[in-house]
Amino acid sequence: MKQVSFDCVVNWWKGLTDPQKSAFAADPAQVSAFLDARGKEIAESTFVICLSDPEAIKLLVKQKKCTLEQAEAMVKPWRKYASDRGYNGPVAWKIRQGFTLKTNAPLVGPCYDDLNYLQSWNFPDVPTEDVLVFWVPRLAEQSTGKTAEQMQVHRASERQAHNLPANHCDRFGSIGLLFALILAHFKRTGERVPLNYFYAASDTLHAVGDRLLAGDFRGSGLYCRWWDGSVGSGFFGFFLRGVEKLG
């Protein structure tokens, strides 16, 4: 949970009108009840929390029972990878279980047509699990223009090239997880990724066998489409991603 500074509270109080301050003083219990309800509402709708590197290390030690050295060895390569890509934001994202594309994505961020167009699509909309995801919001280098099979080969070579943990980068991630991460990054920064309206591949397959993609994130919202994977596109790539299940 994000900590609120005393200065933030003071500035909020200064921004209130005199009638608002009087209403607070007249019935602080009612205001507290409202804030409690609002806090619960926010918590229930928050599925992704970005962590600092020290917070990620602490979480790995506490919930994965890693040693401090093991946790640091997991986080540091991702930080270096982020730096190599010119990105200095969070690389660790704590995911809460229960997020699905069709139900939750339109509620947490801008999605094209509130995803009404895909409600009838037949694909496994698997809920997220309680995991720690390592993710940099930049498509992997030279990941576009490839078939789905070539992407998978390139993904493995990129993991090795950047010395990322051996158990990471083994998947693209479900379409629900991709939407959750992309929308969380947008909420934090206002940046729409993949950049330049590109798409990122997921592991989720439509019933007809085509792979679902997330992207073309314009003012109308994040879009989902499918692709058969047999022919590469200069607009389709993938994110590197590592997952650690939390106890």
Span 167-187, pLDDT tens digits: 999 999 999 999 999 999 999
Q: How confident is the model at residue 34 (pLDDT cuts 50, 70, 90)?
A: low
Q: To which H or E segment does residue 157 belong?
A: helix 148-161
| Residue of 41 and 20 predicted with greater confidence | 20
Mean pLDDT, range 60-80, rounded to an integer: 97
Q: Is pLDDT at 27 greater than 90 in this prediction?
A: no
Q: For the ranges 23-32, 68-77, 91-100, which has the lowest average pLDDT?
A: 23-32
Q: Looking at the DSSP assignment, which residues form a beta bridge with residue 225?
A: 213
Question: Cβ(213)–Cβ(144) under 8 Å?
Answer: no
Q: Is pLDDT at 223 greater than 50 in this prediction?
A: yes
pLDDT at residue 90 in the model: 98
Q: What are the DSSP E strand ranges found in the chain?
A: 48-51, 92-95, 131-135, 199-205, 211-218, 221-227, 236-237, 241-245
- Distance between terminal CA atoms of the chain? 19
Percent of the chain with pLDDT over 70: 90
pTM given for the model: 0.84
pLDDT at residue 43 in the model: 46
pLDDT at residue 233 in the model: 98
Mean pLDDT, range 50-76, rounded to an integer: 97
Q: How confident is the model at residue 30 (pLDDT cuts 50, 70, 90)?
A: low
Q: How far apart are CA 133 and CA 92, in angstroms?
A: 6
Mean pLDDT, range 156-171, rounded to an integer: 98
